[in-house]
Protein backbone atom coordinates (compact mmCIF):
# COMPACT_ATOMS: atom_id res chain seq x y z
CA UNK A 1 0.00 0.00 0.00
CA UNK A 2 1.37 3.41 -0.99
CA UNK A 3 1.85 5.80 1.93
CA UNK A 4 1.35 9.54 1.72
CA UNK A 5 4.88 9.98 3.08
CA UNK A 6 6.18 8.99 -0.37
CA UNK A 7 4.89 12.26 -1.83
CA UNK A 8 6.26 14.67 0.80
CA UNK A 9 9.19 15.96 -1.21
CA UNK A 10 9.76 19.04 -3.38
CA UNK A 11 8.70 18.75 -7.00
CA UNK A 12 5.73 16.40 -6.48
CA UNK A 13 2.25 17.42 -7.63
CA UNK A 14 -1.11 16.72 -6.02
CA UNK A 15 -4.76 17.67 -6.24
CA UNK A 16 -7.05 18.48 -3.31
CA UNK A 17 -10.79 17.84 -3.62
CA UNK A 18 -12.71 20.30 -1.44
CA UNK A 19 -9.73 22.62 -1.18
CA UNK A 20 -11.83 25.50 0.18
CA UNK A 21 -12.48 23.81 3.53
CA UNK A 22 -10.70 25.05 6.64
CA UNK A 23 -8.48 22.02 7.05
CA UNK A 24 -8.00 21.43 3.33
CA UNK A 25 -6.98 25.01 2.55
CA UNK A 26 -4.49 24.84 5.42
CA UNK A 27 -3.16 21.55 4.04
CA UNK A 28 -2.71 23.14 0.62
CA UNK A 29 -0.59 25.93 2.11
CA UNK A 30 1.53 23.53 4.16
CA UNK A 31 2.17 21.28 1.14
CA UNK A 32 3.13 24.30 -0.95
CA UNK A 33 5.52 25.35 1.80
CA UNK A 34 7.19 21.93 1.40
CA UNK A 35 7.79 22.59 -2.30
CA UNK A 36 4.86 20.52 -3.59
CA UNK A 37 2.68 21.84 -6.42
CA UNK A 38 -1.01 21.71 -5.51
CA UNK A 39 -4.16 22.20 -7.57
CA UNK A 40 -7.66 21.89 -6.20
CA UNK A 41 -11.38 21.94 -6.73
CA UNK A 42 -14.41 22.98 -4.74
CA UNK A 43 -18.14 23.21 -5.27
CA UNK A 44 -18.36 26.94 -4.54
CA UNK A 45 -16.32 30.09 -4.53
CA UNK A 46 -15.38 31.16 -1.00
CA UNK A 47 -13.04 33.40 0.94
CA UNK A 48 -10.57 30.52 1.32
CA UNK A 49 -10.67 29.79 -2.39
CA UNK A 50 -10.04 33.44 -3.20
CA UNK A 51 -7.09 33.59 -0.81
CA UNK A 52 -5.58 30.42 -2.24
CA UNK A 53 -5.87 31.80 -5.77
CA UNK A 54 -4.14 34.97 -4.59
CA UNK A 55 -1.31 32.74 -3.37
CA UNK A 56 -0.92 31.17 -6.81
CA UNK A 57 -3.04 28.02 -6.56
CA UNK A 58 -5.03 26.78 -9.56
CA UNK A 59 -8.55 25.98 -8.36
CA UNK A 60 -11.51 24.68 -10.34
CA UNK A 61 -15.10 25.32 -9.31
CA UNK A 62 -17.05 22.12 -9.74
CA UNK A 63 -15.84 18.53 -9.60
CA UNK A 64 -15.02 17.13 -13.04
CA UNK A 65 -12.89 14.25 -14.28
CA UNK A 66 -10.80 16.57 -16.46
CA UNK A 67 -9.52 18.33 -13.34
CA UNK A 68 -7.34 15.25 -12.78
CA UNK A 69 -4.60 16.03 -15.28
CA UNK A 70 -1.85 13.66 -16.41
CA UNK A 71 0.82 15.20 -14.19
CA UNK A 72 -1.07 14.72 -10.90
CA UNK A 73 0.64 12.12 -8.70
CA UNK A 74 -1.76 11.97 -5.76
CA UNK A 75 -5.21 13.14 -4.69
CA UNK A 76 -6.41 14.15 -1.23
CA UNK A 77 -10.12 14.32 -0.60
CA UNK A 78 -12.26 16.01 2.00
CA UNK A 79 -14.63 13.83 4.01
CA UNK A 80 -17.57 15.09 1.95
CA UNK A 81 -16.11 13.68 -1.31
CA UNK A 82 -17.32 10.12 -1.75
CA UNK A 83 -16.30 7.37 -4.15
CA UNK A 84 -18.87 8.52 -6.73
CA UNK A 85 -17.14 11.89 -7.07
CA UNK A 86 -16.02 12.19 -10.74
CA UNK A 87 -12.51 13.28 -9.74
CA UNK A 88 -12.08 10.29 -7.45
CA UNK A 89 -13.36 7.98 -10.17
CA UNK A 90 -10.89 9.52 -12.64
CA UNK A 91 -8.02 9.12 -10.18
CA UNK A 92 -8.85 5.45 -9.57
CA UNK A 93 -9.08 4.80 -13.31
CA UNK A 94 -5.59 6.25 -13.79
CA UNK A 95 -4.10 4.42 -10.83
CA UNK A 96 -3.50 7.66 -8.93
CA UNK A 97 -3.62 7.06 -5.15
CA UNK A 98 -6.42 8.83 -3.25
CA UNK A 99 -5.81 9.76 0.39
CA UNK A 100 -8.02 11.02 3.16
CA UNK A 101 -7.26 14.48 4.52
CA UNK A 102 -6.28 13.05 7.91
CA UNK A 103 -3.82 10.64 6.27
CA UNK A 104 -2.06 13.62 4.76
CA UNK A 105 -1.93 15.54 8.03
CA UNK A 106 -0.80 12.40 9.85
CA UNK A 107 2.09 11.90 7.45
CA UNK A 108 3.10 15.54 7.81
CA UNK A 109 3.10 15.27 11.60
CA UNK A 110 5.76 12.52 11.42
CA UNK A 111 8.32 15.07 10.23
CA UNK A 112 8.24 17.05 13.47
CA UNK A 113 10.09 16.26 16.67
CA UNK A 114 7.17 17.71 18.61
CA UNK A 115 3.66 16.90 17.38
CA UNK A 116 1.14 18.47 19.75
CA UNK A 117 -2.35 17.15 18.96
CA UNK A 118 -5.37 18.54 20.83
CA UNK A 119 -8.49 16.36 21.04
CA UNK A 120 -11.77 16.46 22.94
CA UNK A 121 -15.50 16.81 22.42
CA UNK A 122 -15.28 20.54 23.19
CA UNK A 123 -12.63 23.22 23.26
CA UNK A 124 -10.26 21.92 20.58
CA UNK A 125 -10.10 25.07 18.48
CA UNK A 126 -9.69 27.40 21.45
CA UNK A 127 -7.01 25.28 23.12
CA UNK A 128 -5.12 24.78 19.85
CA UNK A 129 -5.24 28.55 19.38
CA UNK A 130 -3.94 29.15 22.92
CA UNK A 131 -1.09 26.70 22.30
CA UNK A 132 -0.27 28.61 19.12
CA UNK A 133 -0.12 31.93 20.98
CA UNK A 134 2.19 30.42 23.60
CA UNK A 135 4.50 28.81 21.04
CA UNK A 136 4.68 32.06 19.09
CA UNK A 137 5.53 33.95 22.28
CA UNK A 138 8.27 31.37 22.89
CA UNK A 139 9.66 31.92 19.35
CA UNK A 140 9.15 28.25 18.48
CA UNK A 141 8.14 29.10 14.87
CA UNK A 142 5.47 26.33 14.82
CA UNK A 143 3.48 24.88 11.98
CA UNK A 144 -0.21 25.07 12.90
CA UNK A 145 -3.50 23.52 11.80
CA UNK A 146 -6.64 24.86 13.50
CA UNK A 147 -10.28 24.09 12.72
CA UNK A 148 -11.14 27.79 12.74
CA UNK A 149 -9.69 31.23 12.16
CA UNK A 150 -7.16 32.67 14.60
CA UNK A 151 -6.78 36.46 14.35
CA UNK A 152 -3.07 36.20 15.20
CA UNK A 153 -2.56 34.19 12.00
CA UNK A 154 -5.40 35.76 9.96
CA UNK A 155 -6.23 32.17 9.03
CA UNK A 156 -6.52 28.67 10.44
CA UNK A 157 -2.98 27.60 9.66
CA UNK A 158 0.64 28.59 9.73
CA UNK A 159 3.66 27.18 7.91
CA UNK A 160 6.59 27.37 10.30
CA UNK A 161 10.20 26.27 10.19
CA UNK A 162 10.60 25.06 13.76
CA UNK A 163 10.44 21.50 15.08
CA UNK A 164 6.88 21.75 16.43
CA UNK A 165 3.52 21.18 14.78
CA UNK A 166 0.30 22.05 16.62
CA UNK A 167 -2.81 20.30 15.33
CA UNK A 168 -6.47 20.18 16.20
CA UNK A 169 -7.40 16.48 16.29
CA UNK A 170 -11.01 15.48 15.59
CA UNK A 171 -12.41 12.13 16.68
CA UNK A 172 -15.17 11.94 14.04
CA UNK A 173 -14.69 8.86 11.86
CA UNK A 174 -11.63 8.15 14.02
CA UNK A 175 -9.80 10.82 12.05
CA UNK A 176 -7.25 11.49 14.78
CA UNK A 177 -6.06 7.89 14.62
CA UNK A 178 -4.10 8.89 11.50
CA UNK A 179 -2.05 11.36 13.55
CA UNK A 180 1.30 10.71 15.23
CA UNK A 181 1.24 12.78 18.42
CA UNK A 182 4.24 13.08 20.67
CA UNK A 183 1.97 15.02 23.03
CA UNK A 184 -1.73 14.09 23.02
CA UNK A 185 -4.20 16.35 24.82
CA UNK A 186 -7.66 15.07 25.81
CA UNK A 187 -9.83 17.96 26.96
CA UNK A 188 -13.06 16.07 27.66
CA UNK A 189 -15.18 13.20 26.35
CA UNK A 190 -18.96 13.29 25.90
CA UNK A 191 -21.47 11.52 23.70
CA UNK A 192 -21.35 13.05 20.21
CA UNK A 193 -21.13 11.98 16.56
CA UNK A 194 -23.50 9.11 17.33
CA UNK A 195 -24.10 8.68 13.61
CA UNK A 196 -20.63 7.07 13.62
CA UNK A 197 -19.91 5.90 17.17
CA UNK A 198 -22.11 3.24 18.74
CA UNK A 199 -22.21 4.78 22.20
CA UNK A 200 -20.12 6.59 24.81
CA UNK A 201 -17.98 3.52 25.47
CA UNK A 202 -17.14 3.36 21.77
CA UNK A 203 -16.08 7.02 21.87
CA UNK A 204 -13.91 6.43 24.94
CA UNK A 205 -12.25 3.48 23.20
CA UNK A 206 -11.41 5.74 20.25
CA UNK A 207 -9.83 8.36 22.52
CA UNK A 208 -7.85 5.63 24.27
CA UNK A 209 -6.52 4.47 20.91
CA UNK A 210 -5.55 8.08 20.15
CA UNK A 211 -3.65 8.35 23.45
CA UNK A 212 -1.90 5.04 22.81
CA UNK A 213 -0.42 6.47 19.61
CA UNK A 214 1.91 8.56 21.75
CA UNK A 215 5.42 7.03 21.81
CA UNK A 216 6.89 5.72 25.06
CA UNK A 217 8.88 8.93 25.55
CA UNK A 218 5.88 11.17 24.81
CA UNK A 219 3.17 12.61 27.05
CA UNK A 220 -0.59 12.39 27.47
CA UNK A 221 -2.35 15.43 28.92
CA UNK A 222 -5.82 14.75 30.32
CA UNK A 223 -8.56 16.63 32.14
CA UNK A 224 -8.54 15.45 35.77
CA UNK A 225 -12.08 16.83 36.26
CA UNK A 226 -13.55 14.77 33.40
CA UNK A 227 -14.45 11.24 34.49
CA UNK A 228 -14.74 9.89 30.95
CA UNK A 229 -11.36 11.31 29.91
CA UNK A 230 -9.61 9.90 32.96
CA UNK A 231 -11.26 6.53 32.43
CA UNK A 232 -10.15 6.46 28.79
CA UNK A 233 -6.44 6.74 29.66
CA UNK A 234 -6.48 4.57 32.78
CA UNK A 235 -3.54 2.15 32.86
CA UNK A 236 -1.80 3.47 29.72
CA UNK A 237 1.96 3.13 30.13
CA UNK A 238 2.94 6.68 29.18
CA UNK A 239 3.80 9.88 31.00
CA UNK A 240 0.41 11.32 31.96
CA UNK A 241 -0.01 14.91 33.13
CA UNK A 242 -3.39 16.06 34.44
CA UNK A 243 -4.94 19.51 34.41
CA UNK A 244 -8.13 20.90 35.91
CA UNK A 245 -9.69 23.03 38.59
CA UNK A 246 -9.24 20.30 41.18
CA UNK A 247 -6.26 20.91 43.48
CA UNK A 248 -5.31 17.27 42.85
CA UNK A 249 -4.54 17.97 39.18
CA UNK A 250 -0.85 18.31 38.26
CA UNK A 251 -1.62 21.68 36.66
CA UNK A 252 -4.45 23.65 38.27
CA UNK A 253 -5.64 27.18 38.97
CA UNK A 254 -5.77 29.01 42.27
CA UNK A 255 -6.84 32.51 43.35
CA UNK A 256 -9.29 32.88 40.47
CA UNK A 257 -10.93 36.30 40.16
CA UNK A 258 -13.18 37.78 37.49
CA UNK A 259 -13.44 41.31 36.15
CA UNK A 260 -15.97 41.58 33.36
CA UNK A 261 -14.86 39.25 30.58
CA UNK A 262 -11.38 38.86 32.08
CA UNK A 263 -10.22 36.23 34.53
CA UNK A 264 -7.04 36.32 36.60
CA UNK A 265 -5.51 33.30 38.30
CA UNK A 266 -2.31 31.60 39.39
CA UNK A 267 -1.25 28.42 37.63
CA UNK A 268 0.07 25.81 40.03
CA UNK A 269 2.30 22.98 38.82
CA UNK A 270 3.09 20.17 41.24
CA UNK A 271 2.21 22.30 44.23
CA UNK A 272 4.26 25.37 43.26
CA UNK A 273 3.28 28.56 41.43
CA UNK A 274 4.28 28.26 37.79
CA UNK A 275 3.02 31.65 36.63
CA UNK A 276 0.07 34.02 36.91
CA UNK A 277 -2.29 34.67 34.03
CA UNK A 278 -4.77 37.30 32.91
CA UNK A 279 -7.10 35.71 30.39
CA UNK A 280 -9.13 37.95 28.09
CA UNK A 281 -11.75 35.37 27.12
CA UNK A 282 -14.51 34.71 29.66
CA UNK A 283 -15.74 31.54 31.28
CA UNK A 284 -14.55 28.73 33.51
CA UNK A 285 -14.25 26.46 30.49
CA UNK A 286 -11.62 28.80 29.05
CA UNK A 287 -9.64 28.65 32.28
CA UNK A 288 -9.58 24.87 31.81
CA UNK A 289 -8.51 25.31 28.19
CA UNK A 290 -5.69 27.60 29.35
CA UNK A 291 -4.59 24.99 31.91
CA UNK A 292 -4.49 22.34 29.18
CA UNK A 293 -2.39 24.64 26.98
CA UNK A 294 -0.09 25.29 29.93
CA UNK A 295 0.37 21.57 30.59
CA UNK A 296 1.27 21.06 26.94
CA UNK A 297 3.75 23.92 27.14
CA UNK A 298 5.39 22.40 30.21
CA UNK A 299 5.86 19.14 28.28
CA UNK A 300 7.46 21.15 25.46
CA UNK A 301 9.86 22.83 27.88
CA UNK A 302 8.45 26.30 27.26
CA UNK A 303 9.35 28.93 29.85
CA UNK A 304 6.62 30.30 32.18
CA UNK A 305 6.82 33.86 30.83
CA UNK A 306 5.92 32.65 27.34
CA UNK A 307 2.84 30.97 28.79
CA UNK A 308 1.91 34.13 30.72
CA UNK A 309 2.29 36.48 27.76
CA UNK A 310 1.05 34.04 25.16
CA UNK A 311 -2.24 33.57 27.02
CA UNK A 312 -2.51 37.29 27.75
CA UNK A 313 -2.37 37.98 24.01
CA UNK A 314 -5.17 35.55 23.19
CA UNK A 315 -8.50 37.26 22.57
CA UNK A 316 -10.43 34.35 21.13
CA UNK A 317 -10.66 32.36 17.93
CA UNK A 318 -13.10 33.01 15.13
CA UNK A 319 -16.68 31.95 15.96
CA UNK A 320 -15.77 31.31 19.62
CA UNK A 321 -17.73 33.97 21.52
CA UNK A 322 -16.76 36.38 18.77
CA UNK A 323 -18.01 39.94 19.14
CA UNK A 324 -19.69 41.05 15.91
CA UNK A 325 -20.89 44.53 16.85
CA UNK A 326 -24.06 46.23 18.05
CA UNK A 327 -27.67 46.34 16.90
CA UNK A 328 -30.36 48.52 18.50
CA UNK A 329 -28.06 48.93 21.50
CA UNK A 330 -27.64 45.16 21.99
CA UNK A 331 -24.25 43.42 21.85
CA UNK A 332 -24.12 40.79 19.11
CA UNK A 333 -21.85 37.76 19.54
CA UNK A 334 -21.42 34.55 17.58
CA UNK A 335 -20.41 31.15 18.93
CA UNK A 336 -19.80 27.77 17.32
CA UNK A 337 -21.48 25.78 20.14
CA UNK A 338 -23.42 22.89 18.60
CA UNK A 339 -23.48 20.32 21.42
CA UNK A 340 -25.45 20.59 24.69
CA UNK A 341 -22.20 20.59 26.66
CA UNK A 342 -20.93 23.55 24.65
CA UNK A 343 -24.25 25.36 25.07
CA UNK A 344 -24.05 24.79 28.83
CA UNK A 345 -20.53 26.26 28.99
CA UNK A 346 -21.54 29.24 26.82
CA UNK A 347 -24.63 30.06 28.90
CA UNK A 348 -22.76 29.58 32.18
CA UNK A 349 -20.26 32.15 30.97
CA UNK A 350 -22.84 34.65 29.70
CA UNK A 351 -24.82 34.50 32.94
CA UNK A 352 -21.81 35.99 34.71
CA UNK A 353 -21.64 39.02 32.39
CA UNK A 354 -24.66 40.88 33.85
CA UNK A 355 -26.66 41.51 30.70
CA UNK A 356 -30.34 42.34 31.22
CA UNK A 357 -31.48 39.67 28.77
CA UNK A 358 -29.85 36.82 26.91
CA UNK A 359 -31.28 36.30 23.42
CA UNK A 360 -30.18 33.08 21.74
CA UNK A 361 -30.61 32.35 18.05
CA UNK A 362 -29.79 28.67 17.76
CA UNK A 363 -29.29 26.58 14.64
CA UNK A 364 -28.89 22.86 15.43
CA UNK A 365 -26.18 21.04 13.49
CA UNK A 366 -27.08 17.71 11.83
CA UNK A 367 -30.27 15.71 12.21
CA UNK A 368 -28.64 12.79 14.00
CA UNK A 369 -27.08 14.96 16.72
CA UNK A 370 -30.36 16.83 17.27
CA UNK A 371 -32.29 13.58 17.63
CA UNK A 372 -29.73 11.78 19.79
CA UNK A 373 -29.28 14.68 22.23
CA UNK A 374 -32.77 16.18 21.95
CA UNK A 375 -33.59 16.28 25.67
CA UNK A 376 -30.19 17.77 26.53
CA UNK A 377 -30.70 20.52 23.96
CA UNK A 378 -34.12 21.29 25.45
CA UNK A 379 -32.63 21.53 28.95
CA UNK A 380 -30.05 24.11 27.90
CA UNK A 381 -32.33 26.08 25.59
CA UNK A 382 -34.82 26.64 28.38
CA UNK A 383 -32.22 28.80 30.15
CA UNK A 384 -32.02 31.99 28.00
CA UNK A 385 -34.59 34.77 28.29
CA UNK A 386 -35.44 34.61 24.60
CA UNK A 387 -34.91 31.69 22.20
CA UNK A 388 -35.27 31.83 18.42
CA UNK A 389 -34.70 28.62 16.49
CA UNK A 390 -33.50 28.26 12.92
CA UNK A 391 -34.02 25.07 10.97
CA UNK A 392 -31.43 22.33 11.41
CA UNK A 393 -28.25 22.78 9.39
CA UNK A 394 -27.97 19.53 7.44
CA UNK A 395 -24.20 19.57 6.81
CA UNK A 396 -23.35 16.12 5.43
CA UNK A 397 -26.74 14.52 6.19
CA UNK A 398 -30.19 13.98 4.71
CA UNK A 399 -33.25 14.17 6.92
CA UNK A 400 -34.24 10.52 6.94
CA UNK A 401 -35.59 10.70 10.51
CA UNK A 402 -38.10 13.50 10.04
CA UNK A 403 -36.80 15.86 12.71
CA UNK A 404 -37.07 19.65 12.76
CA UNK A 405 -36.17 22.56 15.02
CA UNK A 406 -39.91 23.14 15.33
CA UNK A 407 -40.00 20.07 17.59
CA UNK A 408 -37.46 21.68 19.88
CA UNK A 409 -39.55 24.86 19.96
CA UNK A 410 -42.57 22.87 21.13
CA UNK A 411 -40.65 21.80 24.25
CA UNK A 412 -39.21 25.24 25.12
CA UNK A 413 -41.65 27.76 26.66
CA UNK A 414 -41.73 30.98 24.66
CA UNK A 415 -39.41 29.75 21.93
CA UNK A 416 -40.17 30.57 18.31
CA UNK A 417 -39.18 28.62 15.20
CA UNK A 418 -38.34 30.35 11.92
CA UNK A 419 -37.75 28.21 8.81
CA UNK A 420 -35.85 31.04 7.11
CA UNK A 421 -33.33 33.67 8.14
CA UNK A 422 -35.57 36.55 7.01
CA UNK A 423 -38.05 35.72 9.77
CA UNK A 424 -35.26 35.49 12.33
CA UNK A 425 -33.87 38.87 11.35
CA UNK A 426 -37.29 40.54 11.48
CA UNK A 427 -37.90 39.07 14.93
CA UNK A 428 -34.56 40.40 16.18
CA UNK A 429 -35.30 43.85 14.73
CA UNK A 430 -38.46 43.95 16.83
CA UNK A 431 -37.10 42.67 20.11
CA UNK A 432 -33.45 43.82 20.36
CA UNK A 433 -32.88 46.55 22.94
CA UNK A 434 -30.05 48.08 24.99
CA UNK A 435 -28.82 45.76 27.72
CA UNK A 436 -29.37 42.61 25.62
CA UNK A 437 -26.77 40.16 24.46
CA UNK A 438 -27.74 38.50 21.19
CA UNK A 439 -25.98 35.19 20.56
CA UNK A 440 -26.08 33.51 17.17
CA UNK A 441 -25.15 29.94 18.02
CA UNK A 442 -24.36 26.86 15.93
CA UNK A 443 -21.83 25.30 13.59
CA UNK A 444 -23.75 26.19 10.44
CA UNK A 445 -24.34 29.53 8.75
CA UNK A 446 -26.46 31.20 11.46
CA UNK A 447 -23.63 33.71 12.03
CA UNK A 448 -24.84 35.47 8.89
CA UNK A 449 -27.95 36.65 10.77
CA UNK A 450 -25.92 38.63 13.28
CA UNK A 451 -23.50 39.91 10.66
CA UNK A 452 -26.33 41.28 8.51
CA UNK A 453 -27.98 43.06 11.44
CA UNK A 454 -24.69 44.61 12.56
CA UNK A 455 -23.99 45.75 8.99
CA UNK A 456 -27.49 47.21 8.79
CA UNK A 457 -26.91 49.18 12.00
CA UNK A 458 -23.79 50.76 10.48
CA UNK A 459 -25.55 52.01 7.36
Active site residues: 124-125, 168
Comparing CA positions, the residue from 236, 167, 453 lying closest to residue 325 is: 453
Written as one string, the DSSP assignment of 196-209 is TSSSHHHHHHHHHH
Crossing angle for the helix pair 421-431 and 447-458, to the nearest 10 degrees: 50
Chain center to CA of 6: 29
Amino acid sequence: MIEFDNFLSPGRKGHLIGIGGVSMSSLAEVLKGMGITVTGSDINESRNVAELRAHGFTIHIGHRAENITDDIEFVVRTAAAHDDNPEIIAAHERGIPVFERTQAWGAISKDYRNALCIAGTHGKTTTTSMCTHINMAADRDPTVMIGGTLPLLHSGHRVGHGNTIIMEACEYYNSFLSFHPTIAVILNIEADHLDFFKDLDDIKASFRAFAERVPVDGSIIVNFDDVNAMDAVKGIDRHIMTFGLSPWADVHAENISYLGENSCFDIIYHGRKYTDVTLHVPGEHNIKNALAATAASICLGIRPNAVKYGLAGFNGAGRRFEFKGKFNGADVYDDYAHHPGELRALLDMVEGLNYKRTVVVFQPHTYTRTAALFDDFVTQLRRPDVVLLAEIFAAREKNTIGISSSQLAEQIPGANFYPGFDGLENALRSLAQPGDIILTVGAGDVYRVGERLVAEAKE
